[in-house]
Structure 1
């Protein structure tokens, strides 16, 4: 079931010389509606200032355009915040460049509907109302001064300040809801009781929008009047599962043999198999192109969690276009007879396989690998994706000399369903210390895993020793990698030790920061990490040590007093 709604929009100039309100909407269909949702926006250019209409129109137009250009992996509030701040900077720049536009600003109220939920963003004194079960509720707060003589003066607006402060909210959609975005030309003229009477009419949204603007003028309103009305006829399922609903009935195939055919693909070789997954090298029957096909072990056919995880991995990988990750071949559910997805195949081997074949990594080689790995991790983080399982087995070096990050099976992009199922997965020896204390995965935990990866490739050891599954380790100070490889330069050791620091705050803040440290290398080396003082390593605070020392001294003095 998809999200179904009806809309209406009306905007009138009234007694003003020009209409400084602007309203618009984007109501896509099919995959875009399921993935990004529909968006509605109303803006009111600040009256009395030149450029009010321009500020309102350009803010709404840029918002509706730029929102759909944000990465699909971004959560809606993050995407809105990014485009709203860009719009705010644009309005400010126009006011600075054109003297006649000085002071241009606009209110903004917007609504995004996707799946079963709505998301709102609001700044200024336009409003968002919801009529549900006969009850009208205002979902926004006016950003005006709380004085009777200044209630028309905005405290917040797009273009008013360098730092834009926006109110974000979200909630559940219900069938029968009516959402109304309106400027103050309507709500300041019509009492709320009258608004509720008009919105409860059994009429199409467009007819009600027209009635709102017309009646606000008839009631003596002198301002522009604008309203958007959305009525919910049906809500869809959860966004991710709704997007992949067509794949739910698919089950993993039986284990395939070389020469067999699955749909359009001929099995050439088994590339990898684990307790959960199988990866085949396949050839497309018609084009002859080689691909890698990933599916689940047949034993997991009736395991909904594993099946959902593979669907989530495909969904996520489809939306990340980067040279540092394999690219997914888009396949519709109706072209597949079983549960699997197909990605680009690259000749080469994982770094773990190269270690197992006796490859010796030089410090220069590790520096290059580190740079490529961090560029890939940075690309993921910019898309708001945490990999959560960086390790040599998930890093592939192709014959083309390019490093690629594999396996997004446990990656997180903020989708609650995935995080609840796998709160902190990963390989224990590469997991950051805070994850063992049930902290959430973060950018710093990915950076930690990257640091352990470089450490392991150089030394075949782990900075805190090997950690077995279900073990709850205690972390002291990491063993310097030069203990195992004296040829490692000091600047590289300092970078690795900072990445694997026990305290997340002591690590690099971003993948780009660690990348820069590797790029500048010995020309601008970072400072070495300070070893943890004995007091901190013992887990005692300084005052406790002082108390113990004081007690011992007092006992000694008492003994000397007694024997003398």
Structure 2
């Protein structure tokens, strides 16, 4: 079971590792939709800190908290920018591990920046510290079960939840206890909360939040293409789980009941 850390002071070694990792990614992964980290003269750095550009605007979370639906065309453009930022990270072997509306800045000129690389994972770089990655409500089921520390598929899941919130204003599972396991198999279809959402957009997002990683997009780049094509590409929806997969106890109870009825009928008629 994934345990989320309580706020507190990190050991200096862990903080140093986090800052160095964030600085390295922010300076080496190039994307107009990814927050940057500015180089600091070592001679002037007497404390542990990073320097980042100031981005005007507010977070996507702040925009959604106003309760006003984001226009569909604007939302699709924002969604594509966030997905492109994630794609840029993955191409360089980086997993963000904390994608959420709080970490997306919307600029007054329409610019979009994905920020906060403090818990990102860099391929082939050993991690330090015990901080569990991710934020409750955006954590993929395989991470919640302790089967993964974060990879491209878990990033895609968190991205899908973020995009769902972008259009619906709330999570696919509604508001639940953040410390409890999400009802992953029962997300509310996007069009039920956003009737003007096109079918292709709903299919693209619902596929990204599929409980089984094998049923998500093969790569975030495929999701980017779906968002930017505006439905021109056929989007295969996530496969609907059978009753046996969703609730095996209920399935076998039903089978037993059918067999019992058949036995009774055969005895009566025989």
TM-score, structure 1 length as denominator?
0.43
Matched, 1:386 2:95: yes
User: For 1:428, what is the secondary structure of its paired residue?
Assistant: coil
Deviation at 1:426, TM superposition (A): 1.0
Task: Say if 1:391 and 1:450, in contact at 8 Å, map to a contact too.
Answer: yes
SS at match of 1:342: coil
Structure 2 contact 21–118 (Cα < 8 Å) conserved = yes
Q: CA–CA distance in 1 between the matches of 2:187 and 2:157? A: 12
Please state if 1:511 is matched with 2:202: no
Q: Which residue of 1 aligns with 2:138?
A: 430
Contact 1:464–1:478 under 8 Å retained in 2: yes
Contact 1:371 1:518 in 2 (8 A): yes
Q: Give the CA deviation at 1:547.
A: 5.2
Choose from 63, 77, 84 the match for 1:368. 77
Equivalence for 1:317:
26
Q: For the Cα contact (< 8 Å) 1:309–1:410, is it kept in 2?
A: yes
Partner SS state of residue 172, structure 2:
coil
The yes-or-no answer on 1:352 pairing with 2:61 is yes
Aligned equivalent of 2:147: 439
2:126 alignment partner in structure 1: 416
Instruction: Please say if residues 23 and 38 of structure 2, whose CA atoms lie closer than 8 Å, have aligned partners that are also in contact.
Output: no
Q: Does 1:399 align with 2:108?
A: yes
**Would you say 1:491 and 2:218 are equivalent positions?**
no
The correspondence of residues 6-155 of structure 1 with structure 2, limited to 5 A, is none
Moved more, 527-536 or 397-406: 527-536
Gaps of 5+ in 1: 1-274, 277-298
Moved more, 426-435 or 309-318: 309-318
Count residues with an aligned counterpart: 263
Matched, 1:553 2:250: no
Tell me the distance in 2 between the aligned counterparts of 1:337 and 1:436.
38
CA spacing shift, 1:467–1:385, aligned 2, 3 Å = farther
Kept after mapping to 2: 8 A contact 1:477/1:532: no
Question: What secondary structure does 2:110 align onto?
Answer: coil
Distance 1:519 1:405 in 2: 18
Note if contact 1:313-1:409 (Cα within 8 Å) is conserved in structure 2: yes
- Structure 2 residues not aligned, in runs of 5+: 1-5
| Higher share in helix | 2
**Does the C-alpha gap of structure 1 residues 552 and 363 become closer, same or farther in structure 2, counting only changes over 3 Å?**
same
Shift of 1:527: 3.6
For the residues of structure 1 that align with 2:205 and 2:72, how far apart are their CA atoms? 12
Aligned to 2:3: none
Q: CA deviation at 1:544?
A: 7.6
Shift of 1:308: 3.2
Are the aligned partners of 1:352 and 1:393 in contact in 2 as well (CA < 8 Å)?
yes
Higher Cα radius of gyration: 1
Shift in CA distance, 466/412, structure 1 to aligned 2, threshold 3 Å: farther
- Give the aligned CA root-mean-square deviation in angstroms: 2.6
In the TM superposition, what is the alpha-carbon distance from 1:555 to its structure 2 partner?
4.5
* Distance change in 2, residues 1:314/1:524 (3 Å): closer
CA shift at 1:387, angstroms? 0.5
Q: CA deviation at 1:522?
A: 2.9
2:99 touches 2:155 (CA, 8 Å); kept in 1?
yes
Structure 2 SS opposite 1:523: coil
